[in-house]
Amino acid sequence: MDTPKVVLITGASTGIGKACAEYLGARGYRVYGTSRRGPESPTATGPFTMIRMDITDNASVKKGVDTIAGREGRIDVAFNNAGAHVVGPIEDVSIADAETSLQTNFFGALRVCKAVIPLMRAAGGGSIINMSSVGGVLSLPYQGIYGAGKFALEGMTEALRVEVRHFGIRVSVIEPGDIRTQDCRSVSFATSAYEPWFSTAVKLYEADEKKGYPPEKIGPLVEHIMNSPNPKLHYSFGRAFQSMVPFLKRVTPQRLAQWLFCQMYKT
C-alpha cells in the first residue's frame, strides 16, 4: 500500500466496529475509531486510534471529523457503523427511546455523511459505507423502531449514492444478519398485552444471535468495498439463510411473506 487510506469507523469501542478497526489497522490503514466513551484527544488503541464522537451531536461530529482531517489532511473512508437497537412492542417503546434509536441509526449516519462529503469531494473521491441490517430490509416484530431507522438509512443511502457519484464518492450499505456481539440492545419489556408473543420472539432472537456470525468477518468485507472501484449498493452478510433475506423479500408474495413471518416468530 503506497499511501494508506484514512478510515473513520463510528462505534468502534465494541462489537463489529472494534473488530473492523482492529482488522483494518493491522492491515496498515490509518484507522480512527469513534464512540461516545472514546478519549477526548486521539489515543492509540492497538493498531488504531480512538477518539470521542457522539453522532447524535452536531458539534461532536464536527469536532471529531475536523480533528482527524487536521491530523491526516483527508478522510478516504467513512464506515457509519454505530447503532442503537431498541426492542419492544411499538406501543410500549417510549418516544424518548425511539428518538434515541433514530438519532443514532439514521441522523447519526447522516451527520457523518454531511461532515465527510466536502472533504471527499475536495480530495476527488472517497468511500461511504453505511451499516444497515436485515432489519433494514424486513422490519421484524418487536424491532419496528430499529427497522424504521435502518429503513431510513437505506433510503438515504440509495439516493446519496447517485448524488455524489459525480465527485468520485462511492456509497454502499451492508445488511448483516445476526452477528455475535452485544448488538447495542436495550430491551423495552412489554407491559402485558403483548405477552406471550413478545417473550417468545425475544427468545428466538436471542437464540439466533448466539448462532450469529463472528464480528471479525466484517473487516474483510469492508476492505473489499472500500477498495472496489465500482462497489454494489447492497451487501448481504451473515449466515446463509439470513443473507438471502433481501432476495427472498423481493420475490416472495407479500401475503405469503407475512404468513411465514408469523409462523417463524410464533406471533
Positions that interact with ligand NAP (CB under 6 A): 10-17, 35-37, 53-56, 81-85, 104, 108, 131, 133, 176, 178-179, 181-184, 209, 212
186 is catalytic: no
- By C-alpha distance, which of 97, 131, 96, 100 is closest to 113? 131
Q: How many CB atoms lie within 10 A of CB 156?
A: 18
Cα 222 versus chain centre, distance:
12
- Minimum CB separation of residue 111 from ligand NAP in Å reads 10
Cα 67 from Cα 55, distance rounded (Å) = 15
Cα 89 from Cα 111, distance rounded (Å) = 28
Instruction: Considering the candidates 146, 194, 205, 235, report the single residue annotated as catalytic.
Output: 146
- Minimum CB separation of residue 133 from ligand NAP in Å reads 4
Closer residue to ligand NAP, CB minimum distance, 9 or 117? 9
| CA-to-CA separations, 209 to 83, 84, 141, 146, 177, in angstroms, rounded | 16, 16, 16, 16, 9
150 is catalytic: yes
Closer residue to ligand NAP, CB minimum distance, 195 or 208? 208
Instruction: Considering the candidates 18, 35, 127, 150, report the single residue annotated as catalytic.
Output: 150
Cell numbers of 227, please? 477498495
Closer residue to ligand NAP, CB minimum distance, 85 or 170? 85
132 is catalytic: yes
217 is catalytic: no
Closer residue to ligand NAP, CB minimum distance, 10 or 127? 10
Query: Would you say the C-alpha torsion 32, 216, 36, 65 has a positive or negative sign?
Result: positive
Q: How many CB atoms lie within 10 A of CB 48?
A: 22
Q: Supply φ then ψ for residue 173, to 5 degrees.
A: -135, 140
- Minimum CB separation of residue 167 from ligand NAP in Å reads 25
- Minimum CB separation of residue 182 from ligand NAP in Å reads 4
Closer residue to ligand NAP, CB minimum distance, 165 or 249? 249
- By C-alpha distance, which of 203, 215, 247, 206 is closest to 13? 215
Q: Is 258 helix (H, G, I), strand (E, B) or coil?
A: helix
Instruction: Considering the candidates 35, 127, 132, 236, report the single residue annotated as catalytic.
Output: 132
Residues in the chain: 267
* Amino acid identity at 232: K
- Minimum CB separation of residue 124 from ligand NAP in Å reads 28
Residues marked active site are found at 13, 132, 146, 150
